[in-house]
A and B are shown apart, each in its own frame.
Chain A
Amino acid sequence: MKEEIWIEKYRPFKLDDVVGQSESIERLKSYVKTGNLPHLLFSGPPGVGKTATAVSIARELYGEGWRENFTELNASDERGIDVVRTKIKSFAKTSPLGDADFKIIFLDEADALTSDAQAALRRTMERYTNNCRFILSCNYSSKIIEPIQSRCAVYRFRPLSDAAVEQRCRYVAEKEGLQIADDGFEAIKYVAQGDMRKAINALQAASMFETTVHRDNIYKITATAHPEDILEILKTALEGKFMPARKKLDVLMTQQGLSGEDVVGQIYRAAFDLDILPKQMVDLMDVIGEIDFRLTEGADERIQLDALLAHFALSGEE
């Protein structure tokens, strides 16, 4: 049991277990209650409960034998235009099993479907609604062609609030007999950025080191600098104290074994919290992006980060 991965172990299996999307979930619950389900399009960033919600709907609608009437196709399955016209269409055509009113086709990562394949879904979705309802999930709904959006009730899943992340982590911790310190919660929320998958993974990783999860372990495991340290370094640089800022960053990186790209990501986040003019913020963001790009191209992280701090120092003087 120990080696089981928590994101699967604690995958919600009823709609009430999905946290943080309450408006959508309330509505979806009444669809389940009345047995009346429109075609649905879930859109939103990774790890916020789209797949979990779709599966929960099926489990609540069909009970034990939910898999019989629930088919999932994700991007790793073959889903070209031919498959849509043959396999998906014939699945949509045939009657549901048992006493179910209809079955559900879940197209996960639907934004990976080509627009031709999407077009091939249009009349199939209209025609066989008696047998079959579609749930589509995607990260960017703008990649779903308008006619398909028109055929669905669209639900946007937002990055989860800190409160929602905390709520679910509390639940998981309780089940696992784990304590989480207050600063541990802060750290989990910071690294998760609204992504529950990240949050639970961090929690599980930390649980291997301590029975009360503290922030140091969360940051260490996820190769993250303490956000206050980053903010401190940027402020120092903005005051024109380039050498001290550079030294601090150097220590931080060698001590914690951070990669340049991770640090740039955190600098990006911290830049929103700096007390600077909007114009200045935009210009600095451009510099951060430029450095970020160069790092991905294989440039030396020390040199690039020094250059970045130099820009901050210059910008602070102006």
Chain B
Amino acid sequence: MASIEWVKKYRPNALSEIVGNKKAVESLKKWAEEWQNGIPDKKGIILHGQAGIGKTSAAHALASDLGWETIEMNASDQRTASIIEKIAGSASQMSSLTGTSSKRLIILDEADNMHGNADRGGKRAIGNIIKNTDQPILLIANDLYSMTTSIRSLCEVVKFNTIQSRSMIPALKNICVEEDIMCGVGVIEKIAEISGGDLRSAVKDLQAAAIGRSEINVEDVTTAERDTKESIFKVLAKIFKSTDPVAALHATYSLDETPEDLIQWIDENLPIQYQEGKEGIDSDIIQGYRNLSRADIYLGRVKKRQNYRLWRYAGILMTCGTVTAKSHIHRGFVKYQPPSIWRKMGQLRAKRNMRDNVASKIGQHCHKPIQQTRIELIKMYGMMLKDEDYAVNVTTNLKLDVDEIVFLTGGKKVTKKIQKIYDSARLQIEETASSDINVFFKTGKNDKGQMKKQTGFDQIPDNATSNAMIDKIGDTSTPTRQKKKPQKTLFDF
């Protein structure tokens, strides 16, 4: 009866077991080696990429390979500035006390999912910890761009790619051998294809098909495609290539995309597909955009009125309308692109949040409402920040952080000059009001005392979990592959 999740059972325990992503793994190793020999230039590292491709696994495998302790914080934990400082901050400063040469790897998983409110100040705290740490810090994210520029600039950035079928298939076959499962022709290939490069979901689907069976045939693979790029490509091909509008419409139903997302895909690829590298503009594009813009009007109406019934017209106009816009077949092969607007929007949103934060800081300082501040004063302060005489004082008064200085001065990244302004301002703040600012790094002694007081398991703050805790609570069902290294718990800090 006991049920074991294969994704757990077959989680790589060593870097050598990570499927694919050789280059990423090499970079990770190199960075870790630098830590073995001193303190590297970039004290943090960011692993980023799509879901289910081995980022979290690689982080823990690295630690296990090198015999490092780990301490992990993730989006299931609350991560305000003070919690991060307490857990990760103190962990990053402890080596001098224990005196061992072994390292402690601080893993901040799901680092792109810091919540604005519930995790207030968390991003800033991470930046500070990376700057001051004497232990390796590893951040994991799906979306690199939702992390602040200053965090990115402090870290080595390593991209994990989706897993190619040719690497995935042997890995899945291996599991079948271990589990004594016979697979019919094409089963593994189908699962690999459905997964869209996400190895976790492939392993999931394999198990989902295998439960209660000793033999799997293609028709037994009944779990659906997830909403990955793979499935949308097929639907786009139907829309741009076929002449049957209703068939195209039905294809979009199987996709489960909202029309709001789908229209972005069509918009991105319509001109590429219908232009076919011609001179001038193909009239099919004009017709296509006529329908697409009508579809867009319906989307706007849905948004404004929350009347979801109108979605159906948007759906028809964007799919059927794009099909019927063709006056002739467009044969050229086009590699469909994901909407570039999404990446830009992510950046735009970050920028907007930043602007509002800064505006509210200025507003508080000048006793002005945010709206007014936005227009007039942001420019003004930007100019003042470029002037060395003013810069430090402005930064001090508004309590700006580095990213905000970058934003106000219209720059792209943290320059030496900005860093200097910021550091001088911090000094000034500390001098004038050393009593009322947060001390970022509590001394080891303090923390030790604090942690030691906690005796029972349940009293451990929910906010951090070391490997030892994971072992006790979660991993007991990993029968074939035990975690090797005994790891210290929070008690030992």
* Complex interface: chain A residues within 8 A of B223 (CB): 27, 153-155
A22-38 CB contacts (< 8 Å) to partner B: 23-24, 26-27, 30-31, 33-38
Contact of A36 among B212, B228, B473 (CB under 8 A): B212
A83 to B112, CA, bound (A): 20
Q: Which residues of B contact A128 (CB under 8 A)?
A: 473-474
- The smallest C-beta distance from B448 to any residue of chain A, in angstroms, reads 27
Report if A292-B256 is in contact (Cβ < 8 Å); known contacts: A149-B226, A282-B317.
Answer: no
A293 touches B52 (CB 8 A): no
CA distance A168 to B61 in the complex (A): 52
Decide if B256 touches A142 in the complex (CB within 8 Å): yes
How many residues of chain B get a CB closer than 8 Å to chain A's CBs? Answer: 72
Provide the main secondary structure of the chain A interface.
helix
Whether A43 pairs with B256 at a CB distance below 8 angstroms is: yes
What residue of chain B has the Cβ atom nearest to residue A115's Cβ? B113
Q: Which of B15-23, B171-179, B306-314 contacts A (4 or more CB under 8 A)?
A: B306-314
Q: Does B376 belong to the interface (CB within 8 Å)?
A: no
Which B residues lie within 8 Å of A38 (CB)? Answer: 5, 204, 207-208, 211
Pair B473/A119 contact, Cβ less than 8 Å: no
Bound CA–CA A285/B3 (angstroms): 51
Chain B residues within an 8 Å CB radius of A220: none
Cross-chain contact A143 with B204 (CB below 8 angstroms): no
Which residue on chain A has the smallest CB distance to residue B308?
A139
Whole-angstrom CA separation of A226 from B451 in the bound complex: 73
* Nearest CB in chain B: distance from A54 CB, A: 16
Q: If A150-B200, A153-B208, A156-B256 touch, does A282 touch B5 (CB 8 Å cutoff)?
A: no
B118 touches A102 (CB 8 A): no
The smallest C-beta distance from B226 to any residue of chain A, in angstroms, reads 4
Q: Does A248 contact B (CB under 8 A)?
A: no
Least distance between A126 CB and chain B CB atoms (Å): 7
Which of A85-93, A198-206, A239-247, A251-259 binds B? A85-93
CB-CB under 8 A from A121, the residues of chain B are 76
- Interface residues in B298-346 by Cβ distance below 8 A to A read 298, 301, 305, 307, 309-310, 312-314, 316-317, 320-321, 323-324
Q: Chain B's nearest CB lies how many Å from the CB of A263?
A: 14
Contact of B76 among A34, A120, A154, A292 (CB under 8 A): A120
Q: Tell me the complex Cα distance, A124–B77, Å.
A: 9
Chain A residue with minimal CB distance to B246? A272
Q: Which residues of B contact A190 (CB under 8 A)?
A: none
Chain B proximity of A274: nearest CB distance (Å): 12
- Find chain A residues with CB under 8 A from B225 CB: 154
Q: How far, in angstroms, from A173 to B7 measured CA to CA in the complex?
A: 46
Which residues 219-274 of B have a CB within 8 angstroms of A? 222-228, 243-246, 254-258, 261
Quick check: A150 and B226 within 8 Å, CB to CB?
yes
On whether the beta carbons of A141 and B245 are closer than 8 Å, the reply is no
A27, A120, A288: the one contacting B222 at CB < 8 Å is A27
Contacts of B361 in A (CB 8 A): none
B412 sits at the interface (CB 8 A): no
- The complex places the Cα of A146 from the Cα of B246 at a distance, in Å, of 28
CB-CB under 8 A from A82, the residues of chain B are: 78, 118
Q: Is B128 an interface residue (CB 8 A)?
A: no
B431 adjacent to chain A (CB < 8 Å): no
A146 touches B316 (CB 8 A): no
Q: Whole-angstrom distance between the alpha carbons of A51 and B137 in the complex? A: 43
Query: Chain A residues with Cβ under 8 A from B228's Cβ?
Result: 146
Q: Are B198 and A150 in contact (CB under 8 A)?
A: yes
Instruction: Give complex CA distance A112, B294 in Å.
Output: 28
Does A6 sit at the interface, judged by CB under 8 A?
A: no
Report whether A286 and B323 are in contact in the complex, using a CB–CB cutoff of 8 Å.
no
Rounded to whole Å, the gap between the CB of B443 and the closest CB of chain A is: 29
B164: interface (CB < 8 Å): no
Let me know if A278 and B310 touch, CB within 8 A: no
A116 on the interface (CB 8 Å rule)?
Answer: yes
Q: Which of A109-167 contact B (CB under 8 A)?
A: 115-116, 119-124, 126-130, 140-144, 146-147, 149-156
Task: Let me know if A231 is at the binding interface, CB within 8 A.
Answer: no
Interface flag for A65 (CB, 8 Å): no
Chain A hits for B489, CB < 8 A: none
Q: Which residues of B contact A306 (CB under 8 A)?
A: none
Interface membership of chain A positions 59-91, coded 1 if the CB is closer than 8 angstroms to chain B and 0 otherwise: 000000000000000000000011011100100
Which listed residue, A140, A278, A288, A293, touches B245 by the CB 8 Å rule? A278
Q: Mark B62-85, 1 if CB is under 8 A from A, else 0.
A: 000000000000111110000000
Contact of B473 among A24, A93, A116, A143 (CB under 8 A): A93
A211 at interface by CB-CB < 8 Å: no
| Given A143-B258, A285-B316, A293-B310: A150 touches B52 (CB 8 Å cut-off) | yes
- Top-4 shortest CB links A-B: A289-B313, A30-B212, A36-B3, A119-B113
Told that A43-B224, A144-B227 touch, could you supply 19 new A-B pairs with CB distance under 8 A? A36-B212, A85-B76, A102-B3, A119-B110, A123-B109, A127-B473, A129-B8, A129-B474, A146-B51, A149-B227, A150-B201, A268-B312, A272-B246, A278-B245, A278-B320, A282-B320, A286-B294, A289-B312, A289-B317
A-B contact pairs, 23 of them (CB 8 A): A27-B223, A30-B211, A30-B213, A31-B212, A37-B3, A38-B5, A81-B115, A93-B473, A122-B74, A123-B74, A127-B473, A128-B474, A129-B477, A140-B256, A150-B201, A154-B223, A154-B225, A156-B224, A272-B246, A285-B313, A285-B317, A293-B301, A293-B307
Interface residues of B (CB under 8 A from A): 1-3, 5, 7-8, 50-52, 74-78, 109-110, 113, 115, 118, 142, 198, 200-201, 204-205, 207-209, 211-213, 222-228, 243-246, 254-258, 261, 291, 294, 298, 301, 305, 307, 309-310, 312-314, 316-317, 320-321, 323-324, 462, 470, 473-477
Residues of A in contact with B (beta carbons under 8 Å apart) = 23-24, 26-27, 30-31, 33-39, 43, 81-82, 84-86, 89, 93, 101-102, 115-116, 119-124, 126-130, 140-144, 146-147, 149-156, 265, 268, 272, 278-279, 281-282, 285-286, 288-289, 292-293, 296
